[in-house]
Amino acid sequence: MPERSPAELDAEEFRRLGYAVVDWIAAYRAGVADLPVRPSVAPGFVRAQVDGPLPEQPRPLEELLGLLDDVVVPATTHWQSPNFFGYFPANSSLYSVLGDALSSGLGVQGMLWSTSPAATEVEQSLMDSLAGAIGLDPRFTFAGGGGGVIQDSASSAALVALLAALHRSNPGWRADGVDGLERVYVTAETHSSLAKAVRVAGLGERALHVVGPSPGSLAMSPRALAAAIGADVAAGQRPVLVCPTVGTTGTGAVDPVREITAVAQPHGTWVHVDAAWAGVAALCPEHRHLLDGVEHADSFCTDAHKWLATAFDASLLWVRDACALPAALSITPEYLRNAATESGAVVDYRDWQVPLGRRFRALKLLAVIHGYGLEGLRAHIRGHVALAEQLAAWVRDDPGFALAVPPSLALVCLRVITGDGPEADDAASREVLERVNASGAALLTHTVVDGRYVIRVAIGAVTTDASHVEALWERLRKERG
């Protein structure tokens, strides 16, 4: 007999340790606003403290919590801080933390309907209901012949949309692969995940066609798209997919989806709408215009893990044809054969994604929706939009700053004005951003618009309120000098 069996935790010990973990998370979240948002650690700082042999014998969980306190927290960028305004915040409400725990607790693999009917049908039901809640055309629901699926990320959503598009444009693709004639249309503002999807799908970046903007805007020009597709078709190439963005990552610009679908459809070109950040705002009727024209698109994606209070990862993808993803992705080895699949009466989500296995992500999202209610989620979004409007008003009224582009929802892009010309403004903007970040009082990131340096303020952490945005504005003014 071994001295100590490597037994699983018993229920009592699990409860004790579980409470300790919940206590740790609660205390961390309660104090996160007071921590410097960005750690000041040198590369290698963490390795120097954690490198060493792995324990041969069991160690108490308390030791791990100690490591979190002593090493991990001081070397962490605190994305859940209310002073986090960088990238797009990854807002992870405590409701979603609990939902994630329930999902891990069940520990199911939802790859097929038959491997966990509840995981599949709860997700189908949730995606149908959410489509209604954001005002998506009913043809994106299972009832309407389409359907929704939760992917890990918008990047994966773009990849599977591209694979479905490749299959639709050339059904020989599954057997023969790509033929070098494929073309994919984006803009300079499109998220890099589209370029990555093109690479992963084996098209090579030569397949990527960057379409110019309409004059005086950052949005895709439908006229330029029509010219690009026309020229490609005349040269014997195939326009496979066009990706309009609703709420670009840099500035929140919105491509004209309706006009783009009108250009794409006669050529059979798949239209994938990437609304990773902004799409969830359509929960609010006043922002529903964001979905204008999406009813003519083939797929639509928005991340719950950016602005819907849900911990990474939960990206919502809807397609208008429920067969499109399985047609491209389905492969059934013998060991996955089952009567439910063969009956055709069920959805097997493994055919809607790249990996086989999948988590019960719908539980995390349901925990958020139950916790907030749709009204609460609308208030969450409206609150951030109102804060962005307030900040934009302060920027407009201060001669030391200017808006680089009109604010988009909860994203404010601004620059410092020195009176000494664009180059001095760019240098001053960069310095102000670096000083704010070095202070630890807030975290900001930047972009470049028309060659000019721009400070982005993305409001969206779960606990950000007026006091945090006011403090940020004061800090920006102070660091400007």
For binding to ligand PLP (CB under 6 A), which residues are involved?
Answer: 88, 153-155, 191, 193, 245, 248-249, 274, 276-277, 303, 315
Return the number of the residue (196 or 452) whose C-beta is nearest ligand PLP: 196
CA distances from 305 to 71, 273, 310, 364, 450 (A): 26, 17, 5, 10, 29
Q: Which residue has the tokens 């973990």?
A: 21
Q: How far apart are CA 236 and CA 234, in angstroms?
A: 5
Q: What are phi and psi of 200, to 5 degrees?
A: -60, -35
Q: How far apart are CA 348 and CA 114, in angstroms?
A: 8
Return the number of the residue (88 or 95) whose C-beta is nearest ligand PLP: 88
Q: Are the C-beta atoms of 150 and 123 separated by less than 8 Å?
A: yes
Return the number of the residue (428 or 462) whose C-beta is nearest ligand PLP: 462
Q: How far apart are CA 161 and CA 397, in angstroms?
A: 44
CB of 448 to ligand PLP, least distance (A): 16
Cis, peptide link before residue 100, omega less than 30° from 0: no
Q: How far apart are CA 243 and CA 92, in angstroms?
A: 28
Return the number of the residue (197 or 325) whose C-beta is nearest ligand PLP: 197
- Reading the block at residue 210, the tokens are 């960057």
CB of 322 to ligand PLP, least distance (A): 23
Q: How far apart are CA 330 and CA 333, in angstroms?
A: 10
CB of 64 to ligand PLP, least distance (A): 28
CB of 187 to ligand PLP, least distance (A): 11
Return the number of the residue (191 or 468) whose C-beta is nearest ligand PLP: 191
DSSP for residue 283:
G
CB of 260 to ligand PLP, least distance (A): 15
- Reading the block at residue 231, the tokens are 């020229």
Return the number of the residue (384 or 475) whose C-beta is nearest ligand PLP: 384
Q: How far apart are CA 278 and CA 408, in angstroms?
A: 9
Return the number of the residue (100 or 303) whose C-beta is nearest ligand PLP: 303
Return the number of the residue (169 or 245) whose C-beta is nearest ligand PLP: 245
CB of 302 to ligand PLP, least distance (A): 9
Sign of torsion, CA 315 321 324 326? positive
* Cβ-based neighbours of 246, under 8 Å, separated by 6 or more: 254, 255, 257, 273, 274, 275, 278, 279, 290, 291, 294
CB of 248 to ligand PLP, least distance (A): 6
CB of 191 to ligand PLP, least distance (A): 3
What is the full DSSP assignment across 16-38? Answer: HHHHHHHHHHHHHHHHGGGS-SS
What is the full DSSP assignment across 65-78? Answer: HHHIIIIIGGG---
Report the first-to-last Cα separation within the chain, whole angstroms.
Answer: 72
Return the number of the residue (255 or 351) whose C-beta is nearest ligand PLP: 255
CB of 221 to ligand PLP, least distance (A): 19
